[in-house]
Amino acid sequence: MSDAVTRFAERFEHDAGTLPGSGVPAQDAVRRSALDAFTTLGFPKPRDEDWKYTRVAAIEKQDFSAAPPGTISRAQVAPLLLPETLNAHQLVFVDGRFSADLSRRKAVPRGAVLSDLASVLKSEGDDAATLLAHGETHRHAFTALNTAFAAGGVLLRLDEGVDLGAPLHLLFLASGEADTVAHPRILIECAPGARAIVIEHYVALGECAYFNNVVTRATLGGGAALEHYKLQREAPTAFHVSTLNVQQDETSRFVSHSVSLGAALSRHDINIALNAPGASCILNGLYVAHGRQHVDYHTRVDHIAPACTSAEDYRGVLAGRARGVFNGRVYVHRDAQKSDASQSNRNLLLSRDAEIDTKPQLEIHADDVKCSHGATVGQLDEKMVFYLRSRGIDEAAARALLTYGFARDMADRMSITALREVVAQALLERLPQGEKLRSLLS
Task: Give the mean model confidence (pLDDT) for residues 275-295.
Answer: 97
Is pLDDT at 198 greater than 90 in this prediction? yes
Name the pLDDT band for 395 (thresholds 50, 70, 90). Answer: confident
If you ran DSSP here, which 8-state letter would residue 1 be given? -
Strand (E) or helix (H) holding 37: helix 25-41
pLDDT at 90: 94
pLDDT at 384: 87
Is pLDDT at 389 greater than 90 in this prediction? no
Is pLDDT at 440 greater than 90 in this prediction? no
pLDDT at 79: 86
Helices 25-41 and 141-149: crossing angle in degrees, nearest 10, is 150
Is pLDDT at 105 greater than 90 in this prediction? no
pLDDT at 434: 77
Task: Give the mean model confidence (pLDDT) for residues 86-90.
Answer: 90
Is pLDDT at 294 greater than 90 in this prediction? yes
pLDDT at 201: 97
Q: In this structure, are residues 128 and 24 in contact, taking their beta carbons and an 8 Å threshold?
A: yes
Global pTM value: 0.96
Per the prediction, the chain carries an average pLDDT of: 94
CA distance linking residue 352 with residue 81, whole number of Å: 36
pLDDT at 339: 97
CA distance linking residue 89 with residue 166, whole number of Å: 7
Residues 6+ apart with CB under 8 A from 2: 42, 43, 60
Q: In this structure, are residues 337 and 311 in contact, taking their beta carbons and an 8 Å threshold?
A: no
Helix, strand, coil share of the chain (percent; to 5)? 30, 40, 35
CA distance linking residue 316 with residue 318, whole number of Å: 6
Name the pLDDT band for 411 (thresholds 50, 70, 90). Answer: very high
Q: What is the 3-state secondary structure (H, E, C) of 106-166?
A: CCCCCCEEEEEHHHHHHHCHHHHHHHHCCCCCCCCHHHHHHHHHCCCEEEEEECCCCECCC
pLDDT at 396: 85
Q: What percent of the chain has pLDDT over 90?
A: 81
Task: Give the mean model confidence (pLDDT) for residues 46-58.
Answer: 94
Beta bridge partners of 163: 195
Task: Give the mean model confidence (pLDDT) for residues 206-225.
Answer: 96
Name the pLDDT band for 433 (thresholds 50, 70, 90). Answer: confident
Name the pLDDT band for 17 (thresholds 50, 70, 90). Answer: very high
Is pLDDT at 118 greater than 90 in this prediction? yes
Q: What's the pLDDT tens digit per position in 155-178?
A: 999 999 999 999 999 999 999 889
Residues 6+ apart with CB under 8 A from 244: 216, 217, 218, 228, 230, 256, 268, 269, 270, 271
pLDDT at 82: 84
pLDDT at 83: 84
Name the pLDDT band for 394 (thresholds 50, 70, 90). Answer: confident
